[in-house]
Amino acid sequence: MTERNIQVAELDRRAVEDQEVEIVERKGIGHPDSICDGIAESVSQALAQAYLDRVGKVLHYNTDETQLAAGTAAPRFANAEQPEGEKGGEVVEPIYILVVGRATKQYQGTHIPVDSIALKAARDYLRKNFPALDLETDVIVDVKLGEGSGDLQTVFGEEGTQIPMANDTSFGVGHAPLTETETIVHTAERELNTTFHEKHPELGQDVKIMGKREGDQIDITVAAALVDQHVETITDYTETVEAVREFVTELAREFTDREVHVDVNTADDVEEGSIYLTHTGTSAEQGDDGSVGRGNRANGLITPNRPMSMEATSGKNPVNHIGKIYNILSTDIAETVVAEVDGIRDLQIRLLSQIGRPIDEPHVADAQVVTEEGVAVSDIEADVRAVVDEKLANVTDVTRQVIEGDISTF
Amino acid sequence: MTERNIQVAELDRRAVEDQEVEIVERKGIGHPDSICDGIAESVSQALAQAYLDRVGKVLHYNTDETQLAAGTAAPRFANAEQPEGEKGGEVVEPIYILVVGRATKQYQGTHIPVDSIALKAARDYLRKNFPALDLETDVIVDVKLGEGSGDLQTVFGEEGTQIPMANDTSFGVGHAPLTETETIVHTAERELNTTFHEKHPELGQDVKIMGKREGDQIDITVAAALVDQHVETITDYTETVEAVREFVTELAREFTDREVHVDVNTADDVEEGSIYLTHTGTSAEQGDDGSVGRGNRANGLITPNRPMSMEATSGKNPVNHIGKIYNILSTDIAETVVAEVDGIRDLQIRLLSQIGRPIDEPHVADAQVVTEEGVAVSDIEADVRAVVDEKLANVTDVTRQVIEGDISTF
Amino acid sequence: MTERNIQVAELDRRAVEDQEVEIVERKGIGHPDSICDGIAESVSQALAQAYLDRVGKVLHYNTDETQLAAGTAAPRFANAEQPEGEKGGEVVEPIYILVVGRATKQYQGTHIPVDSIALKAARDYLRKNFPALDLETDVIVDVKLGEGSGDLQTVFGEEGTQIPMANDTSFGVGHAPLTETETIVHTAERELNTTFHEKHPELGQDVKIMGKREGDQIDITVAAALVDQHVETITDYTETVEAVREFVTELAREFTDREVHVDVNTADDVEEGSIYLTHTGTSAEQGDDGSVGRGNRANGLITPNRPMSMEATSGKNPVNHIGKIYNILSTDIAETVVAEVDGIRDLQIRLLSQIGRPIDEPHVADAQVVTEEGVAVSDIEADVRAVVDEKLANVTDVTRQVIEGDISTF
Amino acid sequence: MTERNIQVAELDRRAVEDQEVEIVERKGIGHPDSICDGIAESVSQALAQAYLDRVGKVLHYNTDETQLAAGTAAPRFANAEQPEGEKGGEVVEPIYILVVGRATKQYQGTHIPVDSIALKAARDYLRKNFPALDLETDVIVDVKLGEGSGDLQTVFGEEGTQIPMANDTSFGVGHAPLTETETIVHTAERELNTTFHEKHPELGQDVKIMGKREGDQIDITVAAALVDQHVETITDYTETVEAVREFVTELAREFTDREVHVDVNTADDVEEGSIYLTHTGTSAEQGDDGSVGRGNRANGLITPNRPMSMEATSGKNPVNHIGKIYNILSTDIAETVVAEVDGIRDLQIRLLSQIGRPIDEPHVADAQVVTEEGVAVSDIEADVRAVVDEKLANVTDVTRQVIEGDISTF
């Protein structure tokens, strides 16, 4: 094997942390785009696992095209009079979700029930992640999986596994460390949807967080869907909104000394009764459509200050889809380098594939770095290169981790 | 009120029991057409009930258009090696069911979630009736309910209920008593799907029974889907087929002294392994499409020897759809007359509506009778007329019973 | 070959012409159920022809399950002010038509584009038959064709063609001659949709005709959709309705000396502006759903006075679907017998198949006849038998004629 | 009115032209993602125009969610034997396109036929742009438009038009001038699909161009679908591929003095017959799905070297969707500044909205510039500011131009 083409150089811009204006966004797991990402990736995992179980290797598929058409809902406070004695309102017209993609349906005489697997994976994902969503009334999951080209069948998981070849000229990019604003935006959504949600089941999964930093002023804007069955009255509603504000404010203070201002549900007009109350915890119930690859990038954020790949990472085949692999791997490399090598203020890893070459030998692996004061690129170049090299050598770990669901793709 | 126009006359043909050739068919509840009938009627009941609960009256709807597009399945004997350690095979491509119809979505400011109600009713029906059908993998239920004309809203269930007006020129027909062959065909399916099924869970719901009588020879042909998870081997399969044959043969003997011959799954070729084994208990899993109104008439049978209505009874609005009401009512009248009046060998009741007249005042109610030997029509005319008259007077009982699910429509 | 089992006997009832009450209905080609029948049969013809062209024989398919979900329309008189300077109103929500069925997609290495063929056939049928329907705005045609069981591939059209075997126990029934009422109902729709339509393009294709005879009084009720772009004002509308009434009245007089009364669009309330005006010429544009096999039988009529088969004739494979073949053939036999043999007042032909036997050898072919006064069954028995025998011998003619579109199936 | 907040500053990085590695991509109009973009934007234009025509203002809608599920095709050289005497192959399973979105269906008593308008716009777009795509056999267009929230109705086009308020915190970014590589990639696709296509109808619309520059070496990789009916043999195919290569090479030389290498259809294996031959000119016919917002940004390119917005520009409402407006406007501003102000080597315009403020008064309009040698930012600051200010003052021009189709969104 030839030596890998790994370039380490100085990044020709300031660290994002030092730029004047910074914008960051995260669409929570209940945002319609994220719902599609989550379903697409769940379907992908289920298919990959099924192929491994049944034919011992992952066959060709791509399921990165889930489309969600919003429903209509009539949320109601839990103490309002209800037509059937239930608490809260109802979905009037179900959300429609169409899982689209390609998958190999037959291999050497073995039929693989890809449509049934996709259907189950999508419904399981919804059931697990959206406790207020009633799968019997609130959502229709449809599936349209075609077969791709027959010559794209890929070998993975066999004895004597070899490294797959790149199927495309593609590009992945990763960054580390996250800036304070990025950290706050990402952590806030994750914590709201776990720690906070456990105590406050009235918080729905559709939490969208926008961070804007101008100099040393950080503004965090949260749009958070509340779930009607857990909200008795408007007072409950405003109390929860305030609790979210305090929770995020405190959380932010852990990560920054800058001034932080948090707004929650700014579009509300409480007097008019125009508030962000939902029945299911997601705006997909009322007018917000969604699809895969329109929201968070592979690191969980939308960061216009940084180079981003347009590739939809969720739903793609983790064995041979080079865009998916390189986006995840470059992020992983960046994080690992920063964890293991001191003196880095901002690091950008780019991986560029070359069609027909093994995926562990990119056309170029390009590490661009802003060092901390007093550190030269040459001081750390060897260490950076070593991490990049080792990660590339173990590129198939990414595939394995993705199949096992250990890596979030959005 | 004017006197009802009730005609009682002699039927100008022999009793069906006395005809030379008789053909009777019943599609069991698991036949794809019957699945559609059952869903359509369940959706209808759920909508009617929801309207009553929410606005105190049944509004305009018609849901008599469910379409089923068959799936693909790979059934396997329960003791065969399985990909995931489960028993039996699997559905490869889910069955697709599209519930089509019209329903009023808004009434005086109240929104009625008709799509969600329909979705739930359809899925509940499937769950309740098809134990081997996994709703998470084997079937996709989609819903497409439009709104009908706004001026068709009907009043029902209010204080001072009045009799609705006929909305169409339509026709209902009922018969009694069933012939021996009809009784055997109908009872056999009902017993197989209840009594027999309890002891033999390997019998699926898709039981289709054909009866043919030539003179005094009755041939019963049963096509019965078996469920793979309960069938270990081909020996189990053939034993169950034989058990069905014996069960139906014995059952038939209760109802006739004629010669009876029963065949089960005659298309099987056991040597070739070409047998009627399914994963879900219905042929909808493998290539048999279905839709509403294509199978059994309102009395549960297809009887080419008797006049039949083409109306699809299942799924129609039981308040104002005169075709549905008159098909059910004429059958009810015929059965009641025969139960209460002696001397009848064959009775046919026809009800013909007149647009714009109350439905308890048909244009004509026409009872045609073949009397038993020694009985003249004039002997029983008054009794027959009395039953017809009373049943018509209580026509809205039909609506009530249908909404409550007390009357089978297929 | 054994002699065919042909029975000729007296019909044990009066001729329908002589019964006291008679009911007949015909749904015109623009009725939503008939639209589905027409599409299903067109798709069937196109597929059969494509199979013959490409592999020299008709392969397994069944496309008898088209579902139509109604649209929404806003018809307007042609002289009303229009949003875009066009004449007449518009379709607001397109009609949705789903073609469902099974078709063999591959045969000995040849791929047959069955979905594309079905799509084109359906759209061509609509374009040809519905001049006021704009295929770019008014209708969505979707297709869902699965593959059936692989072992059902049928041989047809090869050198040394043999007679196919019956694939099912099924039943066909035909009658002749039509009664006066039947003739009027059938002819009126056919003439309205051809002769009358040529002079009156304002008459849409959705013409539904109900005939009721009580003794010697025939009532014909016509429901006829008018097309807005050809109707300037309410005066035009009422003039056309009157023209239809006169046309049908005159037409009826050609076929009967009985008293005839014709009503057209009786549900109209001209004062209220509640009239049967459409944009496309069919009620499918506004709330009337449809599906295959719910309307006219193979002879073009719904005749509750006569035995009918429940089989949907349209869309079925004419090579091996015995229900389709026998329904068409029994009608053809009845008409031919009546044309060639004198002295018949009413004739009913029934054909009953036997699984596994060649289709020209039915289990029984049963001719039941009401002779004219002075004629005994024995006088004509031989002649009847000869026609039946010859028609059965040439049973594959039916298949050929159906594929070529020479026989109407609804 | 307060003064607009316009910042002009130095860009803290090298001009992209001067960076070491540059990657640029353009998906041509026939790429499945671009097909969706094009349909979404056409539907948007048609709806906006219909609202203006019918109610004098643009109402709430968003149609940025078209989903394409690929078909299956069997392309064949034009001189190959054909089943029906046609030239070239065929689509076996049609492409399925689902137009999803929200649109106001009723306004002050006026019904707007949004579904029909969307259907027609989508089909017209396909017909106009894809000459080899047969709309009767090759594609199914389906539409699922819900209604959004009623309170989002927007005023536009009335007398005394006022500037709309921003409905969201959003972000737009534009750049100018294009680098050489960007210019080549963008121009090559545009010229191939116009000038070249006129002479070479065998070139399909699915042209994907990847540009990679390392230092002064530019590699252009073209993937170009050829259309079978215009390609007689493999020789024709290779000749066209070579013609594309020469065309792009010459074109590139107009824009750069750097070394340029062009590859076309590198994945071909001519010996094996594995080539990029299609029947319709797009890979959507065979396995490549697509959706809106996954491909080109508003300036027609994917440029990972530059900040990009994740917003899908196509299909969004151009009156009030601030993400769409600011992405288009920032690009327009950047281009105008560079055209009117000398001394700029690289310019980046960012517009950040503020909810509830008029859209001509962004929270910040931020112009970052790399000046040419010898030019200071202060030398040009006033001129830049003046252009930005004027463009913002005329922000509604963007809306108008978008509605009229004068601005490409992808």
For C278-307, the pLDDT digits (tens) are: 999 999 999 899 999 999 999 999 999 999
Give the pLDDT band (50/70/90) at residue B89: very high
How close D93 gets to chain C, by Cα (Å)?
5
- CB contact under 8 Å between B221 and C100, yes or no, is no
**What is the per-residue pLDDT for D161?**
57
**Which of A230-244, A314-328, A363-377, C80-94 is least confident?**
C80-94
Rounded Cα gap, residues A151 and A148, in angstroms? 9
How close A321 gets to chain D, by Cα (Å)?
14
Does the pLDDT value for residue C81 go beyond 80? no
**Which of B23-32, D155-164, D313-322 is least confident?**
D155-164
Distance of CA C402 to the CA centre of its chain: 12
How close C145 gets to chain D, by Cα (Å)?
10
Q: Which residue of A has its CA nearest to B85?
A: A53
Residues in CB range of C73: below 8 A, 6 or more apart: C89, C90, C91, C92, C278, C279, C280, C285, C286
Domains of chain C with bracketed CATH: 6-15+167-178+294-403 (3.30.300.280), 32-152 (3.30.300.10), 180-283 (3.30.300.340)
Does the pLDDT value for residue C348 go beyond 90? yes
Tell me what percent of the residues of chain C surpass a pLDDT of 70.
Answer: 95
- Chain B residues bordering chain A (beta-carbon distance below 8 Å): 50, 53-54, 74, 83-84, 90-94, 105, 111-113, 115-117, 119-120, 123-124, 136-138, 140-143
Q: Are C309 and C293 in contact (CB under 8 A)?
A: no
Helices and strands in chain B, H and E counts: 8, 18
- CB contact under 8 Å between B124 and A136, yes or no, is yes
Give the pLDDT band (50/70/90) at residue D84: low
C3-11 average pLDDT score: 93
Does the pLDDT value for residue A160 go beyond 60? no
* DSSP line for D84-102: TS-SS-EEEE-EEEEEEEE
- CB contact under 8 Å between B124 and A111, yes or no, is no
Kindly state the helix (H) or strand (E) to which residue C120 belongs, with its residue range: helix C114-129
The two tokens of residue A148 are 């791709």
D371-378 average pLDDT score: 96
pLDDT digits (tens, 9 = 90+) for B117-162: 999 999 999 999 999 999 999 999 999 999 865 444 444 444 445 7
Residues making up chain C, counted from first to last: 410
pLDDT digits (tens, 9 = 90+) for C222-251: 999 999 999 999 999 999 999 999 999 999
- CB contact under 8 Å between C140 and D138, yes or no, is no
Residues making up chain D, counted from first to last: 410
**Backbone φ/ψ region at C138: left (φ over 0), alpha (ψ -120 to 50), beta:** alpha
The two tokens of residue C337 are 């017998």
Q: Is A273 annotated as a binding residue?
A: no
The C-alpha angle with vertex C130 and arms to D49 and C317, in degrees rounded to 5, equals 120
Other Cβ atoms closer than 10 A to D311: 24
Subunits next to A (3 or more Cβ pairs <8 Å) are: B, D
- CB contact under 8 Å between C74 and D113, yes or no, is yes
Rounded Cα gap, residues B101 and B317, in angstroms? 11
The two tokens of residue B222 are 């049963």
Q: Which residue of C has its CA nearest to D285?
A: C116
Its ipTM equals 0.93
Rounded Cα gap, residues A64 and D291, in angstroms? 10
Long-range contacts of the stretch A381-388 (C-beta < 8 A, 24+): A381/A8, A383/A337, A383/A340, A383/A341, A384/A8, A384/A337, A384/A341, A384/A347, A385/A6, A385/A8, A387/A333, A387/A336, A387/A337, A387/A340, A387/A341, A388/A4, A388/A6, A388/A333, A388/A337, A388/A349
Give the pLDDT band (50/70/90) at residue C396: very high
For residue B199, report the phi and psi dihedrals to the nearest 5 degrees.
Answer: -85, -25
- CB contact under 8 Å between A23 and D290, yes or no, is no
The two tokens of residue C407 are 């026989």
Q: Are C362 and C392 in contact (CB under 8 A)?
A: yes
For residue C133, report the phi and psi dihedrals to the nearest 5 degrees.
Answer: -95, 120
Does the pLDDT value for residue B81 go beyond 80? no
Does the pLDDT value for residue C142 go beyond 70? yes
Does the pLDDT value for residue A41 go beyond 70? yes
Secondary structure of residue D78 in the 3-state scheme: coil
B243-256 average pLDDT score: 98
Kindly state the helix (H) or strand (E) to which residue B116 belongs, with its residue range: helix B114-129
pLDDT digits (tens, 9 = 90+) for B266-302: 889 999 889 999 999 999 999 899 999 999 999 999 9
Q: Is B160 annotated as a binding residue?
A: no
Of A91, A93, A119, the CB nearest to B137: A119
pLDDT digits (tens, 9 = 90+) for B313-365: 999 999 989 999 999 999 999 999 999 999 999 999 999 888 778 999 998 89
What's the 3-state SS for chain A? CCCCCEEEEECCECCHHHCCEEEEEEECCCCHHHHHHHHHHHHHHHHHHHHHHHHCCCCCEECCCCEEECCEEECCCCCCCCCCCCCCCEEEECEEEEEEEEECCEECCEECCHHHHHHHHHHHHHHHHCCCCCCCCCEEEEEEEECCCHHHCCCCCCCCCCCCECCCCCEEEEEECCCHHHHHHHHHHHHHHHHHHHHCCCEEEEEEEEEEEECCEEEEEEEEEEEHHHCCCHHHHHHHHHHHHHHHHHHHHHHCCCEEEEEECCCCECCCCECCEECCCCHHHCCCCEECCCCCCCCCCECCCCCCCCCCCCCCCCCCCHHHHHHHHHHHHHHHHHHHCCCEEEEEEEEECCCCCECCCCCEEEEEEEECCCCCHHHHHHHHHHHHHHHHHCCHHHHHHHHCCCCCCC
The two tokens of residue A145 are 């999986």
Residue C298: CA count within 13 A, CB half-sphere: 32
Cβ contacts of C346 on chain B, cutoff 8 Å = none
How close D98 gets to chain A, by Cα (Å)?
9
Does the pLDDT value for residue B39 go beyond 70? yes
Q: Are B65 and B33 in contact (CB under 8 A)?
A: no
Rounded Cα gap, residues B206 and C244, in angstroms? 48
Q: Are A61 and A47 in contact (CB under 8 A)?
A: yes
Tell me what percent of the residues of chain B surpass a pLDDT of 70.
Answer: 95
Of A84, A94, A142, the CB nearest to B140: A142
**What is the per-residue pLDDT for C155?**
45
How close A127 gets to chain B, by Cα (Å)?
11
Cβ contacts of B89 on chain A, cutoff 8 Å = none
Give the pLDDT band (50/70/90) at residue A156: very low
Q: Which residue of D has its CA nearest to C118?
A: D137
The two tokens of residue D225 are 């679908």
For residue C324, report the phi and psi dihedrals to the nearest 5 degrees.
Answer: -65, -50
Best residue of C310, C352, C357 to probe chain B, by most B CBs closer than 10 Å: C310
B158-170 average pLDDT score: 70
Rounded Cα gap, residues D306 and A129, in angstroms? 35
Best residue of C105, C115, C138 to probe chain D, by most D CBs closer than 10 Å: C115
- CB contact under 8 Å between B123 and A111, yes or no, is no
Other Cβ atoms closer than 10 A to B102: 24
Q: Are D86 and C63 in contact (CB under 8 A)?
A: no
**What is the per-residue pLDDT for C254?**
97
Q: How many CB pairs under 8 A join A and D?
A: 138
Dihedral over alpha carbons A354, A357, A362, A363 (to 10 degrees)? -50
- CB contact under 8 Å between B140 and A137, yes or no, is no
Rounded Cα gap, residues C78 and A173, in angstroms? 61
Question: D386 exposed, middle or buried (CB, 10 Å; 0-12, 13-18, 19+)?
Answer: middle
Of D93, D112, D113, the CB nearest to C91: D113
User: Measured over all CA atoms, what is the biggest interatomic distance in chain B, rounded to whole angstroms?
Assistant: 73
Subunits next to D (3 or more Cβ pairs <8 Å) are: A, C
Does the pLDDT value for residue D86 go beyond 80? no
Give the pLDDT band (50/70/90) at residue C149: low
**Backbone φ/ψ region at A120: left (φ over 0), alpha (ψ -120 to 50), beta:** alpha
**What is the per-residue pLDDT for A82?**
67
**What is the per-residue pLDDT for B341?**
97
**What is the per-residue pLDDT for B79?**
87
How close B153 gets to chain A, by Cα (Å)?
20
Does the pLDDT value for residue A241 go beyond 60? yes
**What is the per-residue pLDDT for A157?**
44
- CB contact under 8 Å between B140 and A136, yes or no, is no
Q: Is C149 annotated as a binding residue?
A: yes
Q: Which residue of D has its CA nearest to C105?
A: D92
Give the pLDDT band (50/70/90) at residue C83: low
**What is the per-residue pLDDT for B1?**
59
Cβ contacts of D267 on chain A, cutoff 8 Å = 355
* DSSP line for D149-165: -GGG----SSTT--PPB
pLDDT digits (tens, 9 = 90+) for D224-247: 999 999 999 999 999 999 999 999
CA neighbor of A380 nearest in space, from A391, A392, A371: A371
Distances (CA, A) of B388 to A90, B320, C189: 45, 20, 36
**What is the per-residue pLDDT for D1?**
59
**What is the per-residue pLDDT for D12?**
86
Subunits next to B (3 or more Cβ pairs <8 Å) are: A, C
pLDDT digits (tens, 9 = 90+) for A274-333: 999 999 999 999 989 999 999 999 999 999 999 999 899 999 999 989 999 999 999 999
- CB contact under 8 Å between B111 and A74, yes or no, is yes
How close C83 gets to chain D, by Cα (Å)?
6
Cβ contacts of C99 on chain D, cutoff 8 Å = none
